[in-house]
Amino acid sequence: MIYDEIDRKMNERTEWVLRRQMGIPNNRKLFVLACMDERLPVEDVLGIGLGDAHIFRNAGGLVTDDVIRSAVLTTRFFGTEEIIIVNHTECGMMSASPDQIMNALQQRVPDLLNGLAVDPLLPEFRLTDMDAYYRWLKMFEDVDQTAEAQIGFLRNHPLIPDHVEIHAYIYEVETGSLRRPHVRLGDRVNTAKAMQQG
């Protein structure tokens, strides 16, 4: 009957709109941390769609205080049971040294080291020296080591439940596919060099 179909659609819409109030987790019980880079098609490479995950993107796909805050909320209150980290090759966070970034920032923001507040809701949190800015920027050199470090930061944080599964992958911009950190299939294909090492 048409009534049943209309009623079903209305119930689905109600559940979609009020899912937080009703305690309904995202479809995959998944939190994704990924880089903000526009070349990284997070939903496509993970095979997820609208409603499947809470997705947090920032420069580098790095664990920050806000990532921890969001991960705590999604795992402690929204039913999330898995965290996936997606870093990628050719990341802008590897494109310059911290010194180059800091020099460029100082040219653009002359009062950079005068105790500038970096979080509008935490005005007491101020960076006052170069070392603090370097650590705040979180530039890195090796995407594989960085991906593994992000797992450790989340796994060892006391606010993230022990039962939550945490994994990291590298998206290869050059091939358009995911791989595990430190596992490059290109290094294992049938070449003379690979055969000698094999």
Query: Residues 155-184: pLDDT tens digits?
Result: 999 999 999 999 999 999 999 999 999 998
The response to whether 88 counts as a known ligand-binding position is yes
Residues 79 and 158 placed together within one structural domain of the fold: yes
Containing structural domain, residue 167: 28-92+140-182
- 142 in a known ligand binding site: no
In a domain, 109, yes or no: yes
Residue 194: per-residue pLDDT: 57
> Does the residue 189 lie in any domain?
no
Determine, yes or no, domain membership for 193.
Answer: no
| Other CB atoms within 10 A of residue 54 CB | 20
In a domain, 164, yes or no: yes
Does 35 appear as a known binding residue? yes
37 lies in the same domain as 130: no
Q: Report if residue 120 sits inside a domain.
A: yes
Task: Report pLDDT for 78.
Answer: 95
Nearest CA to 58 out of 47, 48, 69, 50 is that of: 69
CA 1 vs. chain centroid, Å, equals 46
Same domain, 85 and 145: yes
Let me know whether 82 and 46 are in one domain.
yes
Q: Are residues 114 and 171 located together in one domain of the fold?
A: no
The rounded distance, in Å, linking the Cα atoms of 49 and 172 is: 21
Do the domain assignments include residue 62?
yes
Residue 91 among known ligand-binding residues: yes
Question: Which residues have CB under 8 Å from 79's CB, separation 6+?
Answer: 23, 24, 25, 26, 29
Nearest by Cα to 59 from 155, 116, 136: 136
What value does the mean pLDDT take over residues 77-87?
Answer: 97
